[in-house]
Amino acid sequence: MKHPTATLVVSCPDQKGLVAALAQLLYEHGANILQAQQHTEATTHTFCQRIHFETSELAVSRAELEEVLSQECARHRMRWRLTHSDERKRVALFASKFEHCLADLLLRHRLGELPCEISLIVSNHLDLEPVADQFGLPFHVFPITPETKDAQEARELELLDQHAIDLVVLARYMQIVSPEFIAEYPERVINIHHSFLPAFIGARPYHQAYERGVKLIGATAHYATSDLDEGPILAQEVVHCSHRDSVADLVRKGRDVERLALASAVRAHLEDRVVVVGHRSVVF
Amino acid sequence: MKHPTATLVVSCPDQKGLVAALAQLLYEHGANILQAQQHTEATTHTFCQRIHFETSELAVSRAELEEVLSQECARHRMRWRLTHSDERKRVALFASKFEHCLADLLLRHRLGELPCEISLIVSNHLDLEPVADQFGLPFHVFPITPETKDAQEARELELLDQHAIDLVVLARYMQIVSPEFIAEYPERVINIHHSFLPAFIGARPYHQAYERGVKLIGATAHYATSDLDEGPILAQEVVHCSHRDSVADLVRKGRDVERLALASAVRAHLEDRVVVVGHRSVVF
Amino acid sequence: MKHPTATLVVSCPDQKGLVAALAQLLYEHGANILQAQQHTEATTHTFCQRIHFETSELAVSRAELEEVLSQECARHRMRWRLTHSDERKRVALFASKFEHCLADLLLRHRLGELPCEISLIVSNHLDLEPVADQFGLPFHVFPITPETKDAQEARELELLDQHAIDLVVLARYMQIVSPEFIAEYPERVINIHHSFLPAFIGARPYHQAYERGVKLIGATAHYATSDLDEGPILAQEVVHCSHRDSVADLVRKGRDVERLALASAVRAHLEDRVVVVGHRSVVF
Amino acid sequence: MKHPTATLVVSCPDQKGLVAALAQLLYEHGANILQAQQHTEATTHTFCQRIHFETSELAVSRAELEEVLSQECARHRMRWRLTHSDERKRVALFASKFEHCLADLLLRHRLGELPCEISLIVSNHLDLEPVADQFGLPFHVFPITPETKDAQEARELELLDQHAIDLVVLARYMQIVSPEFIAEYPERVINIHHSFLPAFIGARPYHQAYERGVKLIGATAHYATSDLDEGPILAQEVVHCSHRDSVADLVRKGRDVERLALASAVRAHLEDRVVVVGHRSVVF
């Protein structure tokens, strides 16, 4: 893609003429639509649209486009955001002791799969510092105990703020992030839960899966909300298993689906393909 | 769905303003867009769009809407079609001796999964007449030999014409349909090929798959074209297999993926979610 | 398969020499082993084995083979069963108002996928009588109310006993079968649960799945036990879904995975590939 | 696994008593069988068996066990191999310029998924030396031109010989390895082909897949033989795709299935779960 592109994502109560209004506005200002998806949530009558367009022949500045969009969206009481492909999101990866999700995201980033800048890595343990070093990334350790948790989270938030972080990815962070932390990054914290939610909520899901004798295990990537494991689901993957799989085998197979689900969710977020409606997500 | 809905499907060389033009036209005539998808084929710069909309508050008659659409689409050199949910497509199912695809489609139709009218069943053998009887459908037998093929196809086409058939589904018909026949129903003949095309083109694909020792087998549903097995692919499904699977097991597993792929393709066609661009298909 | 084959399935506390003892015994009596799988459950140290063998050159009668096996298995405190491919299991299908699982099993049986005799169909409603008629099978209706449930189940059990039923398949029966009923057919009642257990236990799982916004839905086939939905899992299938799927779409997609999971479980049972260890199943 | 275990893999023309003979021999020498699978290839009447057993109470030395097995297997004209879990296979990874398969295997090895020693990395280019460095592994470069190919392969073979390499993994090596090279490592060179073989044999399979408009893409891991892409298949994976996927997207999705298929094949080989029969593989 030589020229930068832009993406407009909107949602609002459904009414007639919304598609026409936005398409007309973009056309008048010189945008060429490359891809557009529109969906209306049947139960809440919520209109959702994503428009991906070329900006090489835009007749106005980005600021001016923002301004006219702001006025139009206000008229329809739309939630909206406009992003540009050359203003890459800044991402912080949080990990703990398991490296597979972290290493997978770093590798994908190096391969060009994730359109973002990975600014830094945060952990509550020192174990993964070598991985950060391998990829030449700053590694920040915030050891956490019940007593220090509030203070450490405050320091983490300060760090994120200094780096103007857009997205936090909990890549098997193994720590419950406080509602206060989440509130600072609404729909901007992605977590990977190592099971097929809503099955096996809580601790040691692979042990639970083994005990239950399931024939499939899965992983779920979702936006973190104050309700643990209850945020809008972004991606889910599964893999078949059998009686031959020990708990260790389930953990191994689980790593594969965790990596796939998390990478898929992070990509969807980075490409601005997600609209949250209530506690469900539309992933265009 | 209480009120009828309509679907507009268009494709044309890409240019700016197409989304706006169509959305504006529909809005002005009282349509409420429920779902819209737009895609531009990168290599051919072909604009493709599907718009699904409510017609309960349409300000004009269907004929008038057709007329204004016709003029607008002509201006942009668009291929287009407009369909209405209460004008159900009329389908002819062609089968030979294997009943699984035929019975599956009939069952799905009875369950309400396929929005169409199944008008009749055509076969070159008598074997499946009882299946037609079970579902209370007319069964027409056209035995085919090299000598009679042309004449029989002519009679089949006459029958399809009499019943104003919109779509022909080759549900394991096991006969090569002539280019002349296909030409009468362009992009309106769906075939199920019992392999993961383009692997195992031609006869006895499950035997070929067994000999090759593959670990997956598949099925491909596609529009039939004059080039055997080369038409635009609509749906593909696969299933894992192993050394424990005999040819008979592959055939059995294959039946499941054939049924799934064919039903998926037929649904996509009936819901007007397919746009053909060259020899590829866009399935919205 | 020209000659009949036999299958021996055993389980017992693990000890050395079990494989050798059984293999030697079978060899001495003229059996030729076609396929054998052996697995030891790590947590319970339970030895499980399935041996599938040719009997065309058996040096003894079936009764004599049973006798020597009986003695050998007693020595090792084995649970065991010996079945013969020409003594087909007799199956009763229970259904309610939904026909897809019932029709699917009947179709598969007609296609030769299920090595059994389907003796009869039981329902608590009249709706599916035409399906039974289509396949020429006896249809027995036992309307059930809270008051009549015990008496009706007693009549059902009597009917099953008269027909020497080996396996009961609850093909979306939509009635909770009593623990007393289950106790008469231990590990011989297969149920299909219309969700990916243990998620969405209980009523209306597709509505629950829609509300939760999952990206995958599934189905679980399991042996019924007195604990609802807690019996040993035999097969699970899933399919991807998205925001575009309404509850009706989830129900439709769910039908496909229900059919696949149930058919897979029934086949495994009929081919004597299942060993239950505690509340987990080994499916060879 | 505290105590070392051993694995016996055999294949030979089928005859009665083979299972009993091997089980009896192992039992007499103190082995405790943990897992056993036996399969008879129907078309070639080839008996295949894998026996995984505990050796902690073995009554003889490994050399003595080898000796008695050697005699027994000779009697039945068996191909056989006996491996011990504490004698880890030595692996050489060959790569070119793409790092995803190489990095994936190295990460899995670090996570403990691959029971082997990775001795060295070979490449025809310098590009991936940093990856080798990250994992602290020797990196050997053998630039290859048509003129130097024979000599360079000879040097590679010498290197592999010096390091007593058991398995060569072509992790997207992008060079055709000569039949002479393969002949030195029969059934010990694993290749990943970036398509669902036998579709898209040859160059640029993702471009071919895009042109053909397929709805699934795949990857195939197989033993390399002198016939390019025709060796016994070990593992295949697929992923759905759509009109929205550009060639670049197919390449990206392809990387995921390549990694999964290759890792699965390498694990199967390392765990001695593969038996080759003709040009098919049995993967227990």
Predicted pLDDT at A227: 83
Of B35, B107, B256, the CB nearest to C260: B256
CA distance D142 to chain B (A): 33
What confidence score (pLDDT) does residue A3 get?
A: 84
Distance from the B134 Cα atom to the nearest Cα atom in chain C, whole angstroms: 6
Instruction: Answer left, alpha or beta for residue C187, where phi above 0 means left and psi between -120 and 50 means alpha.
Output: left
Of A199, A234, A281, the CB nearest to C199: A199
Contacts 24+ apart (CB under 8 A), A151-157: A153/A177, A153/A178, A153/A180, A153/A181, A156/A122, A156/A181, A157/A181, A157/A184
Please write the tens of the pLDDT for every residue from A9-41: 999 999 999 999 999 999 999 999 999 999 999
* Cβ C76 vs Cβ C15: under 8 Å: yes
User: Is D73 in contact with D80 (CB distance < 8 Å)?
Assistant: yes
What six digits make up the tokens of A263? Answer: 């990478």
Q: How far is residue D128's CA from residue D95's CA, in Å, rounded to a whole number?
A: 8
Q: What is the gyration radius of the CA atoms in chain C, in angstroms?
A: 20
Is B226 within 8 Å of B179 (Cβ atoms)? Answer: yes
Which residue among C213, C232, C282 places its CB closest to the CB of A281? Answer: C213
* Residues C58-98: tens digit of each pLDDT: 999 999 999 999 999 999 999 999 999 999 999 999 999 99
**pLDDT for residue A169 is more than 60:** yes
Strand pairing category for A216-223 and B116-123: unpaired
Q: Which two tokens stand for residue C211?
A: 């509300």
Structure tokens at B55: 């017609």
Question: Beta B5-13 vs B46-54: how paired, if at all?
Answer: antiparallel
Q: What confidence tier does A1 reach under pLDDT thresholds 50, 70, 90?
A: very low
Question: Residue A27: which of B17, B33, B35 has the nearest Cβ?
Answer: B17
CB–CB of C110/C135 below 8 Å? yes
Q: What are phi and psi of C212, to 5 degrees?
A: -80, -15
The mean pLDDT of C263-267, rounded to a whole number, is 98
Contact D108, D114 (CB under 8 A): yes
Chain B residues in contact with chain C using a Cβ-Cβ cutoff of 8 Å: 35, 99-100, 103-104, 107, 110-111, 113, 134, 244, 252, 255-256, 260
Chain-wide mean pLDDT for chain C? Answer: 94
Q: What is the pLDDT of residues D19-62, one digit of tens each?
A: 999 999 999 999 999 999 999 998 899 999 999 999 999 999 99
Asked whether the beta carbons of residue B20 and residue A26 sit closer than 8 angstroms, the reply is yes
Residue C31: exposed, middle, or buried by beta-carbon count in 10 A (0-12, 13-18, 19+)?
Answer: buried
Which CATH homologous superfamily contains domain A5-84?
ACT domain (3.30.70.260)
> Model pTM?
0.96
CB A118 within 8 A of CB A95: no
Q: Give the residue extent of every domain in chain B.
A: 5-84, 89-283
Residue D168 sits at φ, ψ, to 5 deg, of -110, 125
Q: Which residues of C63-84 are buried (b: 16+ CB within 10 A; e: fewer)?
A: eebeeebeebbeebebebebbe
- Name the least confident of A184-188, A232-236, B208-212, D127-131: B208-212
Task: Write the CATH number of the domain with boundaries D89-283.
Answer: 3.40.50.170
The verdict on a CB contact (< 8 Å) between A196 and C199 is: yes
Mean pLDDT for the stretch of residues C89-112: 97
Cis omega (within 30 of 0) for bond into C146:
no
Q: What is the pLDDT of residues C175-187, one digit of tens each?
A: 999 999 999 999 9
- The answer to whether the beta carbons of residues C75 and C41 sit under 8 Å apart is no
DSSP codes of every residue in A131-158: HHHHTT--EEE----TTTHHHHHHHHHH
- Contact present, C231 and C221 (Cβ < 8 Å): no
The DSSP bridge partners found for residue B53 are: B6, B33
For residue C42, the model assigns a pLDDT of: 86
What Cα–Cα distance (Å) separates residue C50 from each residue in A144, C8, C221, C265? 52, 6, 21, 16
Q: CB count, 10 Å around CB of C130?
A: 11
The distance of C134 to chain B (nearest Cα, Å) reads 6
A·D CB contacts under 8 A: 26
Give percent of chain C above pLDDT 70: 99
Beta bridge partners of A8: A51, A82
Q: How far apart are CA C46 and CA C187, in angstroms?
A: 18
A255 phi and psi, to 5 degrees?
Answer: -60, -40
User: D212 and B199: CB-CB below 8 Å?
Assistant: no
* CA separation for the pair C39, C47 (Å, rounded): 6
> Any idea which residues of D carry the catalytic annotation?
229
Band (pLDDT 50/70/90 cuts) for residue A2 is: low
The DSSP code for C172 is S
- Condensed to tens digits (0 to 9), the pLDDT of residues A244-261 reads 999 999 999 999 999 999
* Mean pLDDT on A71-84: 96
User: Which residues of C lie closer than 8 Å to A, measured between beta carbons?
Assistant: 39, 41-42, 196-200, 211-216, 218, 232-238, 242-244, 246, 279-283
The predicted structure's pLDDT at residue D1: 47
Q: Which of A61, A197, C100, D265 is nearest to B104 (CA)?
A: C100
Helix, strand, coil % over all residues of chain B, rounded to 5: 35, 30, 35
Mutation target for D interface from B190, B201, B243: give the one with most D CBs within 10 A: B243
**Mean pLDDT value across residues C13-22:** 94
Mean pLDDT computed over A81-107: 97
pLDDT for the residue B60: 95
Contact flag B27-A40 (C-beta cutoff 8 Å): no
b/e per residue, D222-243, with b = 16+ CB within 10 A? Answer: bbbbeeebbbbbbbbbbbebeb
Query: Chain-wide mean pLDDT for chain A?
Result: 94
Q: Region D252-260: what's the mean pLDDT?
A: 97
Distance of CA B218 to the CA centre of its chain: 18
For position B52, what pLDDT does the model report?
96
Q: What DSSP designation does A232 have?
A: P
Residue C1 reports pLDDT greater than 50? no
Residue pairs spanning B and D at CB distance below 8 A? 80
ipTM of the complex: 0.93
